[in-house]
Amino acid sequence: MAVPSETTRIEAFSDGVFAIAITLLVLDLKVPHDAPDGHTLAQRLLAQWPAYLAFLTSFATILIMWINHHRIFTLVGRSDDRLLFYNGLLLLGVTVVPFPTSLVAEYLRRDGARSAALVFNATYIYIALMFNLLWRTAAVNDRLLHHDADRTAVRAIFDAYRYGPVWYVLAFATAFVSVTGSLLLNLALAVYFAWPANRA
């Protein structure tokens, strides 16, 4: 049975995890050092484009995850153990994101690029599934929602999340054809999930 309680502590703790994860991403952006190859600093900076692409994709995705997490909790009025558990599993995925980001940044132009992209995409499949579990445990039959929750927003989140894992599975499969294409699809998904929850 759901126990009425404030969800402020859940959001505050989650915000801290999101903030740490998104900050760790910058560690993969390295300052180029002098090398005997004769390349200029500009050339060495441009050569690090895989790190920039991985950083941008993961930064955008974590940012949008944080926004959507906030959207969920504007509609959730109570918490229970199930909500806490699924929120924790979601945060597990969020904390892992810097690792596959580092893999992609390191291996995108080397042997192992596909494996790195598969790990990257598998992480986002897991996160999409956890978002669904978190939302459904709160929203199915209005278990934990505010009694006056915006019905349009509730329906919009159900519609958006329903096929989220499927799209990320598609990005996973795309890695077998094009590693860069799979990363760009992840970036496109971040843009899609950034749309307002009450979109038509």
What is the pTM for the complete model shown? 0.85
What confidence score (pLDDT) does residue 35 get? 61
Tell me the CB-side half-sphere exposure of residue 120, using CA atoms within 13 A. Answer: 37
What confidence score (pLDDT) does residue 4 get? 44
Supply 137's token pair: 């445990």
Q: Give the chain's residues under pLDDT 50.
A: 1, 3-4, 198-200
What confidence score (pLDDT) does residue 124 get? 92
What confidence score (pLDDT) does residue 143 get? 92
Query: What are residue 161's phi and psi, to 5 degrees?
Result: -80, -20
